[in-house]
Structure formats: C-alpha cells, structure tokens
Structure 1
Amino acid sequence: MSETHAADAATMPPVDADERTRDRVRSAVLEHGPISAAQLGKLLGLTPAAVRRHLDTLDRNGVIEVKLVGNARSGAGRPARRYVLSRRGQSAMGNDYLDIARTALTQLAETGGEAAITAFAEQRFAKMEEDYRPIVDAAGDDITARSKALATALSGDGFVASSASFSFTATLAAEQLCQAHCPVQELATSFPQFCDAETAVFSRLLGTDVRRLSTLASGGHVCTTHIPTGRSGSKTTNPDTSTTSNHSQERP
C-alpha cells in the first residue's frame, strides 16, 4: 500500500463508526425535521463535510427526503433545503407509536363512529387555534397579513409554512398557504377528519372561507390552502361549515 493510501486509510473512521453516526443523523432528522444540514451539524457536533456525506448516503438509500422551502417571511431568495424522514425511513426506525395511534383511532371509529373521530380531531386542533389566535390577530384585519402571520406561526411549530400572494384580476386575488411538513400525515391518510379540522381552524383564524387544494395525506407534495383576499363576499359568519368536505377534493 502506498504512503498516500495508508494515510487516507488511517484517517477514515471504521465502517461501524460511520453507521453509528448515520443512525444519529437519521434520529435527529426524525426528531427535529424539517432541518437543515447546518442545523444538524451544530446539533450533532459534526463538520459540514461529515454531515453532507451522511445525508447523501441516507438520501441515496431512500431513508430521508429533501424539501425545498421558501422564505416564510418574505418569499424572496432561493428555496432552502430541509431534510425529513421518508416513509421508508419511518418504517426503518420502527413506527410502533403510529401503529398504536392508528389502532386506537380505528377502535374509536368502531365504537363511536365518524363523529367520534371528528370530535377527537377538533379537540386536537383547538390548542393550535388558541395558541395562534393572538399571533394572527396582531396582524390586523387584512387577510393577506393574517395569512402570512399564520404561516409564520406554523413554521415556528415545524410545519415549514409559507404564504404567497397571487393576483388573477384587478378584483380577484388570493393567498396560497403551503405547508411542507405535517406531523400527522400518516394518520390523516386514513382519517381525513384531521385535515378537515385543521382547515376549519385556518378559516376561523383568518375570518374567511378557505379551500384545501392539496394535502400531503392525499398524495400532494405540500398541503396547499387557497385563501381569497380580493373577492367581494369572501367573509363568512360560519366559516368552519364550508370547509369540512374539502378533503374529498384534494387530489393534486
């Protein structure tokens, strides 16, 4: 073996050490994702080169996925790369908690019917509405400003959200609220009441009818909510009643 190759071999960590480090990276992505490479390096005490090497390996093996996320505050600049565990990666980590939750909800549906699942989902999202209300109300009455405040609040809880403005005509404009991550995606695939409850919360927080265009649970790349901002009559006195059937129309 040449001196150069011997030196390289001496500086390379053992294979088992690499595997242990990749397990740490994978666990960190599961717990903290969506997360950037820089955040992972700081969290785990790894150099940028080491983080990239392990992320590339996990990506090639289908364990993690890259999500391109826009700036939730300004919408400007190049999208940032964030890492989340793929469905394959979730399975590899073991999803006992997910199996338990799905079994419990299935039994709840069998004993209490769909109404019981709806009540459970609404109760879960009631805390979100309570926490986000002061943040959204602080933005004032303008729906566009409220939508962007909602996106900021969602991003603070790891939903990786952004709100972009679109003008179709002089009198027809809208915001599109996007979420690149959903902590209950797998459950919502089987129980769309979770998506419906969240949509109803958005409608009440924003004070206008909203419509889900796509969801991660139904196969979309992001959850997208259409929020009209420039149409006469967009206000509603009972917004949650107009959003509860959106999930059936959410195929992207």
Structure 2
Amino acid sequence: MSIENDTSTRKVLLTLMKTKGSLSVNEMAKELGITEMAIRRHLNTLERDGLIEAKLIRQAMGRPMHLYSLTLLADDLFPKNYHQLTLELLGELETEENFNPVGQLFEGRKQKLLQKYSGRMEGKSLAGRVAELAEIQNNNGYMAKWETAEEGHYVFTEYNCPIAQVAKQYNEACHCELSLFQNLLGAEVERTECLTKGGNKCTYHIKA
C-alpha cells in the first residue's frame, strides 16, 4: 500500500469514528472492507500521533474488546470557523447600543443568516428545504446529512460543530441555531442529541 493510500485510509478511519462514535477493530474492518491486521496498523499510527484513544470494554461473554474513539486533538482536524464567528460577533458589538451582550449577539447573527439563506428555501417542498439546509450546513463545515424517517418526517444530523467550544459556554448559540432551522424550514424542529451536551452528533427531528 502506498503512502498516499495509507494517509487516505487513516483519514477515512478518523471520519468513521467522527460519524459513528466509538468502534471496534472488527467494525472498522467491515466498514472499510480490509483486514483487521491492516486496520490495527493504521490505528497504531493514529494512537501514536495522539489522534485516537482505546478503551477496554469487558463483555458478558468472550474476551474483552477495545473500542477506539477520537481525542480532542483529532477533533481539531475537522472544520472550525472561529475566525468567521468572531468577526460576526464583533460586527454586532459595533451596531448594537443597548443589549444583553451574549443573547443579542447570537440573535443578531441568526437574523443575518436567516436573511442570507431564506431566498434559497422559496418554492421548495419541506424535503427540498431540508436538503437545501444540509447543503448550507455542509458548506459551513457541519458534516450534515438528512434522511426521511416517515412521510412528512425527517431526521437531520450534524457530525461536526465548528463553533462547539463557543456553544459549550454559551447555550444561546444552540438556541439560535434551533430557531434558525425552524424559521428556514417553516416546520417543527426538535433537537434530540447535542454535541455540546456530550452527544456524538447533533440530531434534529423535523415535521411539517
């Protein structure tokens, strides 16, 4: 296997753990269609570089099993846009005079995003709007996907949050994102899992 293929496989493994959470060697081998020996070789390199960590899980039957997951160092490899967010927040500080700083900063940002993207939703069905939202969020580094749960019901998932560190400190960020989705989609949106609250992803259930 060439160096380029080695690097590519490690990137795929990192993305797999980002989207699926903790995985065993066997699960990774099945996902990638390569041998467990090859998987272990890549994991050794990733662990040496501090990008993954292993946890020994004892099972009711059989031998203990190692589950591998990303470290905080690996999380920094995925898209972040702190620079863009900082500029947006500073812009709000310059234009607002009387405000509750954090709440109004994020509310102002939400309104600007709503104005920016509302036109892209016009004339589309709910499924079309959800698909459009996924494209918007992917362009902003959120690693988003969506699927139909049942007729008129959709599940929208984000595997990365570029502003996670800010959102952990300021809940207003999450509240405003939820409100933005509701306004853009014109639908009921419920967040059932959140990265900033210990989840592996942000999950939203959407219905007309």
Letter of the structure 1 residue corresponding to residue 101 of structure 2: A
Equivalent in the alignment of 1:124? 109
The separation in 2 between residues aligned to 1:203 and 1:53, in whole angstroms, is: 37
1:182 and 2:165 matched: no
Secondary structure of the 1:217 match is helix
In the TM superposition, residue 151 of structure 1 has moved relative to its aligned partner by 0.7
The separation in 1 between residues aligned to 2:187 and 2:75, in whole angstroms, is: 36
Return the TM-score normalized by structure 2.
0.57
Give the % identical residues: 23
Secondary structure of the 2:145 match is strand
Return the TM-score normalized by structure 1.
0.48
1:148 and 2:131 matched: yes
In the TM superposition, residue 190 of structure 1 has moved relative to its aligned partner by 1.8
Secondary structure of the 2:188 match is coil
Letter of the structure 1 residue corresponding to residue 126 of structure 2: I
Q: Is the 2:134–2:145 Cα contact (8 Å) retained in structure 1?
A: yes
The separation in 2 between residues aligned to 1:50 and 1:157, in whole angstroms, is: 24
For 1:81-135, what per-residue CA distance to the aligned partner results, in whole angstroms no more than 9, with x for missing partners? xxxx8424468xxxxx89xx8xx9xxx9xxxxx9421111122333332332222
Q: Is the 2:106–2:172 Cα contact (8 Å) retained in structure 1?
A: yes
For 1:166-217, what per-residue CA distance to the aligned partner results, in whole angstroms no more than 9, with x for missing partners? 12xxxx7411111111111122112111000011011110112211111111
Quote the RMSD (CA, aligned, Å). Answer: 3.4
The separation in 2 between residues aligned to 1:203 and 1:215, in whole angstroms, is: 16
Unaligned runs of 5+ in 1: 1-45, 66-84, 92-96, 109-113, 230-252
Report how many aligned residue pairs link the two structures.
144
Q: How does 1:154-165 map to 2 (within 5 A)?
A: 154-165=137-148
The separation in 2 between residues aligned to 1:56 and 1:142, in whole angstroms, is: 44
The separation in 2 between residues aligned to 1:227 and 1:90, in whole angstroms, is: 27
Q: How does 1:46-85 map to 2 (within 5 A)?
A: 47-52=4-9, 56=43, 59-61=46-48, 63-64=50-51
Larger Rg: 1
Say if 1:122 and 1:63 are closer, same or farther in 2 by CA, change over 3 A: farther
The separation in 1 between residues aligned to 2:147 and 2:169, in whole angstroms, is: 29
> Which structure would you say has the larger RCO, counting Cα contacts within 8 Å and 6 or more residues apart?
2
Q: How does 1:1-252 map to 2 (within 5 A)?
A: 47-52=4-9, 56=43, 59-61=46-48, 63-64=50-51, 86-89=71-74, 115-137=100-122, 140-167=123-150, 173-229=152-208
Unaligned runs of 5+ in 2: 12-41, 53-69, 77-81, 94-98
The separation in 2 between residues aligned to 1:89 and 1:211, in whole angstroms, is: 29
Letter of the structure 2 residue corresponding to residue 206 of structure 1: L
For 1:204-232, what per-residue CA distance to the aligned partner results, in whole angstroms no more than 9, with x for missing partners? 10112211111111111111111113xxx
Secondary structure of the 1:189 match is helix
